[in-house]
Amino acid sequence: MDQNKQNEIEAAVFRRLLEHLDSRKDAQNIDLMILAGFCRNCLSKWYKAEAEKRGEEVDYDSARELVYGEPYDSWKEKHQLKATPEQMAAFEATQKK
């Protein structure tokens, strides 16, 4: 497989991941952090970092809007629940590993 085709496939997979996360707003960021060690905010930071490596200036808010599909504050207000004490304890336990 040539590099251009691989890049196209990887970009399509990334878009599909974003679509999947958008369809699963019930999957809270804290849950993703507990189970997978990353969340939507991590994807935003990774996007920003990779853009900068390639000479493109992308601010964090723009990267989050790309990942969340809308401004972060709007998404957070509509979809993000307050983490429970149990979720926070589970997250803290993952940080000790």
Walk me through the domains of the chain, giving residue ranges and CATH numbers.
Answer: 3-95 (1.10.3340.10)
Residue 63 tokens, joined: 């990267």
The predicted-structure confidence for 55-72, as pLDDT tens digits, reads as follows 999 999 999 999 999 999
- The four Cα atoms 64, 65, 67, 70 give a dihedral, to 10 degrees, of 140
Q: How far apart are CA 20 and CA 14, in angstroms?
A: 10
**pLDDT at position 45:** 98
Residue 73 tokens, joined: 């504050």
Q: How far apart are CA 49 and CA 80, in angstroms?
A: 25
The predicted-structure confidence for 71-81, as pLDDT tens digits, reads as follows 999 999 999 99
Question: What residues contact 79, with CB distance under 8 A and at least 6 apart?
Answer: 25
